[in-house]
């Protein structure tokens, strides 16, 4: 964001009397509303931009999401005030797909428990608890087939996986070659050895994967989510993992961030060898940040 601030300065924007450009993520709404009351332009990343902030910013000309997802912005209020909201949708599509596929591979290959064994014991001999899985010949189900989902499908194909897609907004002829469209999500869940989430968060997709949907997944199947935490009913996911219905999960996003080993509804995930936890950083590479800026 500092690079973006330098660019704004180069075209005439100036810092305020305190020399402040940046407010920390999680700034209380009242403080945020006060700080942007006379702003012409608001660049945001994670902090929620609600109706009071937008209505109180009398000079605001635009809101820029420094990334992709715009679910933290009150779009209806921005539209009501005629304030454009823009994002940067293409900067990390391949980057996030690479991250998702790396997490998928980590689940199949049991990276986490074997790494722990190497650190604590120095070696791991072939025995049943270390048995991993091939990706080749397995079926990957994608919930959503936008830019990131398409990249994920291509990578899975290179590993000779079968790829299923459920996306009611994408017609079958528009899908990548070799990808099979499922007309309903239940069919995809029942047929997939792993499911990867790549849809946007909105009213229709919030808790898209609830207890009933997770129960329809194959016993021992893996789940990967690099989209938004709220797309999954996280309490139901925790239960499905604790009851060993799922073989494991890899998560880069959570309904409440940051995640924490204590005092968080998902704290128990830290102790599970079949769960890979990533701190919402699949987008974060040198190349993606250069494109974003």
Helices (H) and strands (E) in the chain — how many of each?
Answer: 11, 10
Cα atoms in the Cβ-side hemisphere of radius 13 Å centred on 234: 19
The angle formed by the CA atoms of residues 218, 222 and 224, to the nearest 5 degrees, is 130
Residue with tokens 């996030």: 96
pLDDT, residue 14, reads 66
Q: Nearest-5° angle of CA 92, CA 137, CA 217?
A: 75
Contact (Cβ atoms closer than 8 angstroms) between residue 78 and residue 55: no
Q: Can you tell me the distance from the alpha carbon of 108 to that of 45, in angstroms, rounded to the nearest whole number?
A: 32
Contact 284, 91 (CB under 8 A): no
- In tens, the pLDDT along 105-134 reads 999 999 999 999 999 999 999 999 999 999
| Location of structure tokens 């060993």 | 244
Task: Specify the pLDDT at position 124.
Answer: 97
Radius of gyration of the chain measured on its C-alpha atoms = 21
Q: Which of 91, 63, 66 is nearest to 78 (CA)?
A: 63
Q: List average pLDDT for each run of 10 residues in the chain, which is 293 residues long.
A: 73 64 82 93 91 96 93 96 96 97 98 97 97 98 96 97 95 84 97 97 96 98 98 98 98 96 98 98 96 91
Tokens of 12: 């005439």
Instruction: List the 41-44 sheet strands across, edge first.
Output: 41-44, 62-65, 85-86
Cα–Cα distances (Å) from 61 to 39, 41, 121, 247, 275, in that order, read: 8, 6, 59, 48, 43
Number of other CB atoms surrounding residue 19 within 10 Å: 7
- Each residue's pLDDT tens digit, 154-175: 999 999 999 999 999 987 777 8
**What global pTM score does this model have?**
0.89
Both tokens of residue 288? 């993606």
Q: What b/e string do you get for 213-222 counting C-beta neighbours within 10 Å, with b at 16 or more?
A: bbeebbeebb
pLDDT at residue 19, rounded to an integer: 55
Catalytic site positions: 228, 257, 280
């Amino acid at each position: 964001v500092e690079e973006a601030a330098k660019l704004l300065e180069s075209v005439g924007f100036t810092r305020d009397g305190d020399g402040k450009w940046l407010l920390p993520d999680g700034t209380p709404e009242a403080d945020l509303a006060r700080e942007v009351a006379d702003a012409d332009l608001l660049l945001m990343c994670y902090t929620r931009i609600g109706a009071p902030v937008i209505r109180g910013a009398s000079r605001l000309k635009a809101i820029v999401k420094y990334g992709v997802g715009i679910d933290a912005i009150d779009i209806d209020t921005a539209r009501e005030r005629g304030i454009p909201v823009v994002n940067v949708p293409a900067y990390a599509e391949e980057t996030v797909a690479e991250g998702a596929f790396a997490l998928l591979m980590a689940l199949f290959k049991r990276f986490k428990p074997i790494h722990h064994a190497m650190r604590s014991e120095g070696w791991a001999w072939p025995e049943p608890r270390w048995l991993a899985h091939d990706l080749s010949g397995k079926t990957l189900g994608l919930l959503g087939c936008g830019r990131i989902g398409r990249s994920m499908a291509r990578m899975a194909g290179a590993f000779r996986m079968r790829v299923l897609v459920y996306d009611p907004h994408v017609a079958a002829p528009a899908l990548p070659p070799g990808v099979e469209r499922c007309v309903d999500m239940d069919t995809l869940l029942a047929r997939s050895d792993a499911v990867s989430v790549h849809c946007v968060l909105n009213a229709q997709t919030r808790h898209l994967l609830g207890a009933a949907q997770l129960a329809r997944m194959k016993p021992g199947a893996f789940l990967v989510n690099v989209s938004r935490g709220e797309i999954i009913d996280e309490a139901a996911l925790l239960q499905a993992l604790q009851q060993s219905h799922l073989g494991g999960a890899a998560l880069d996003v959570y309904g409440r961030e940051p995640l924490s080993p204590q005092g968080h509804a998902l704290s128990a995930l830290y102790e599970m060898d079949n769960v890979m936890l990533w701190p919402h950083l699949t987008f974060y590479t040198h190349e993606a940040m250069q494109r974003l800026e």
